[in-house]
Amino acid sequence: MGPGGAGVSSVAAAAALRVARSHRSSRSPVVRPATGDNDTLLITVDRLSKTAGRLGVFRRDGEAVQVSEGLYLLSLDRLSLLEETWAQFSSILAEATARSSVRLPGMGAVTGVASGELIHFPGIEDFLLLRRVRDEATRGRWRRIVLDCSGGGDAMALLRAPTVLHQMINRLWPRHLRIAAAAERPVLAQVSAAVDTIDTDCLDVAELIRDPAIAAVTLVVTADDRGAGLLESVLATIDLMGVALRSVVLNHAGPPPGDLHTLPDDPHTLPDDDETAGDATAGDAATAAPDRVLRQMRSVLAPDEADGVRVHEVGTRPHALDKPARLRKLDIGLDEPSGHGHGSSLVRVRTLSGSGVDSRFEMAWRQRLPDPDSFGLGRAGDDLLVTVDGFRHPVRLPSVLRRCEAIDAHWDGERLRVVFAPDPAVWPVR
Cβ 369 vs Cβ 236: under 8 Å: yes
> pLDDT class for 159, splitting at 50, 70, 90?
very high
Pairing of strands 39-44, 360-366: unpaired
Does position 93 have pLDDT exceeding 70, yes or no?
A: no
Helix (H, G, I), strand (E, B), or coil: what is residue 301?
helix
Helices 124-138 and 78-99 pack at an angle, to 10 degrees, of 100
pLDDT at 287: 44
Cβ 78 vs Cβ 125: under 8 Å: yes
pLDDT at 363: 97
Closest CA to 300 of 224, 235, 365: 235
pLDDT at 94: 67
CA-based torsion, 379, 380, 385, 391: positive or negative = negative
Helix (H, G, I), strand (E, B), or coil: what is residue 40?
strand
H/E element, 271: none
Q: What is the mean pLDDT of residues 343-358?
A: 93
Does position 33 have pLDDT exceeding 60, yes or no?
A: no
20-34, 157-171, 215-229, 352-366: segment of lowest average pLDDT: 20-34
Neighbouring C-beta atoms of residue 113, cutoff 10 Å = 11
pLDDT at 115: 56
Helix (H, G, I), strand (E, B), or coil: what is residue 367?
coil
Does position 251 have pLDDT exceeding 80, yes or no?
A: yes
Cβ 329 vs Cβ 207: under 8 Å: no
- Cα 48–chain centre separation: 20
For the whole prediction, is pTM greater than 0.85? no
Does residue 269 or residue 170 have the better pLDDT? Answer: 170
